[in-house]
Amino acid sequence: MVHNPYHNAVKQLEEAAVLLEPMYEDKKKFHAIVEQLKTPNAVHEAQLVVKMDDGSTQKFQAYRSQHDDVRGPYKGGIRYHHDVNLDEVKALSLWMTWKCATTGIPYGGAKGGIIVDPSKLTHNELERLSRAYAKFVAPYIGTWRDVPAPDVNTNGQIMAWMLDEYESIIGKHEPAVFTGKPLELGGSLGREEATGQGGVYVLEQLAKKLKMVPSKTSIAIQGLGNVGYWFAVCAADMGFLVVALSDSRGGIVSNDMKKGLDVKKVLAYKKEKGSIQGFSGTRDITNDELLSLPVDILVPAALENVITDENVKNIRAKAIIEMANGPVTPEADGMLWERGIFSVPDVLSNAGGVTVSYFEWVQNLHGYSWSKEEVFKKLKPLMVDAFNHMWSLHTTRKVHLRMATYIGAVKRVVDAHILRGR
């Protein structure tokens, strides 16, 4: 079965709408808003023409989907990946709208992407591609309009090139138009580790609810990009046992499930060997095997649709924390719930990244520079409040954690539509 992330995103919205409908007197207005929320407000597309180092030119398909902006400027990352497609970008923009509403930060949702395998480009080609993307989106973005950021395979350097290109077009400084920038150009301390750290604040709350003690709680993490890596480091720092890790080439699991891996050493090993496999005290596993390990907490932190109706029966974890965007399909969600496996949804558990992006934007608007301690002191209560809000809706409405989160988030967006009278 082919899993289309946009169909998944619409299905999730429809499921939440069924539960929200009784709360609205004007049913016609409610349904009209939900209908509108199924489609992004605007989707911009372009073929970026980039000069390659050998003098030839290549075309790259690029997108920016702007879903909804009733709660504030559009917000969301830009991903560079060979599997990027229009429906994926649209789905990711819907999820950004719910994500910003979940922690209550004043943004709507957007997402961008380029169909490209960035590992095949040289540094200079990557710079020219990033500048071409900034030029393409320049008419549609802005500090109070749409604020892009990094996502899969993009980083501070790419934001720096885009900011430079954008500022040269508008002829003035405008640092708040991109977040996830390097510190030297107005980036925020803590942004680098924010998504992983935010997920670990969620992990702490979930462990308390499920009466799990960190030193006895085993965790398997799929994906070792920025999100998976920092989740692993922060979870290990909190005393949790990270027993299995993987990247796109494959994974490893500790020979002793009662002992956690030294995550920083695993990463140093990967830098040296190019892969994490073969790390001492572990055995090699595939990405599929990692998903079915008998651990307490499973953390998909790579791409979407890894837990589906086809492999959900193999899951042996007690709970899941979604750190990737869209790793569990709606069918699998229902099946996990029936099996009593808690799954904290992406729009809550990975919201730490965009929340610190918001702090970066606030600092840029005011010319402030906050310490890392200050950033995390502000992040933690937002994540904990969002978790508690979800948990109380989960217990009162007797729905799974994604539905509980969606009821809260979609309601905020619908209410903002009603207030504006759109």
Which residues of this protein are in contact with ligand GLU, per CB under 6 A? Answer: 75-77, 99, 149, 151, 179-180, 325, 350, 353-354, 357
Q: Which is nearer to ligand GLU, 77 or 228 (CB)?
A: 77
Report the nearest approach of ligand GLU to the CB of residue 318 (Å).
26
Distance between the two ends of the chain, CA-based, in angstroms?
Answer: 38
395 to 51, 134, 170, 232, 338: CA distances (angstroms): 56, 45, 50, 29, 15
CA atoms within 13 A of residue 205's CA, in its CB half-sphere: 24
Q: Which is nearer to ligand GLU, 350 or 363 (CB)?
A: 350
Report the nearest approach of ligand GLU to the CB of residue 379 (Å).
13
Report the nearest approach of ligand GLU to the CB of residue 229 (Å).
15
Phi, psi of 289 (to 5 degrees): -65, -40
Distance CA 167, CA 172 (A): 6
Q: Which is nearer to ligand GLU, 94 or 295 (CB)?
A: 94
3-class secondary structure, 82: coil
Q: Which is nearer to ligand GLU, 89 or 220 (CB)?
A: 89
Please give the structure tokens belonging to residue 281. 């005290």
Q: Which is nearer to ligand GLU, 99 or 394 (CB)?
A: 99
391 to 210, 213, 245, 344, 381: CA distances (angstroms): 12, 19, 28, 10, 15
DSSP run (H or E) holding 115? strand 109-115
Please give the structure tokens belonging to residue 106. 């004043």
Beta-bridge mates of residue 62: 46, 114
Q: Which residue is nearest to ligand GLU (CB)?
A: 77
Report the nearest approach of ligand GLU to the CB of residue 132 (Å).
20
Report the nearest approach of ligand GLU to the CB of residue 94 (Å).
12
Residue 208's Cβ-count burial label (10 Å; 0-12, 13-18, 19+) is exposed
Catalytic: 378? no
Q: With beta carbons less than 8 A apart as the criterion, state whether 149 and 354 touch.
A: yes
Q: Which is nearer to ligand GLU, 187 or 251 (CB)?
A: 187
Report the nearest approach of ligand GLU to the CB of residue 75 (Å).
5
Q: Which is nearer to ligand GLU, 147 or 243 (CB)?
A: 147
Instruction: For the chain, state the CA radius of gyration.
Output: 21
Distance CA 396, CA 411 (A): 16
Write down the catalytic residue from 75, 90, 99, 111.
111
Distance CA 266, CA 264 (A): 5
Report the nearest approach of ligand GLU to the CB of residue 354 (Å).
4
Q: Which residues are catalytic?
A: 111
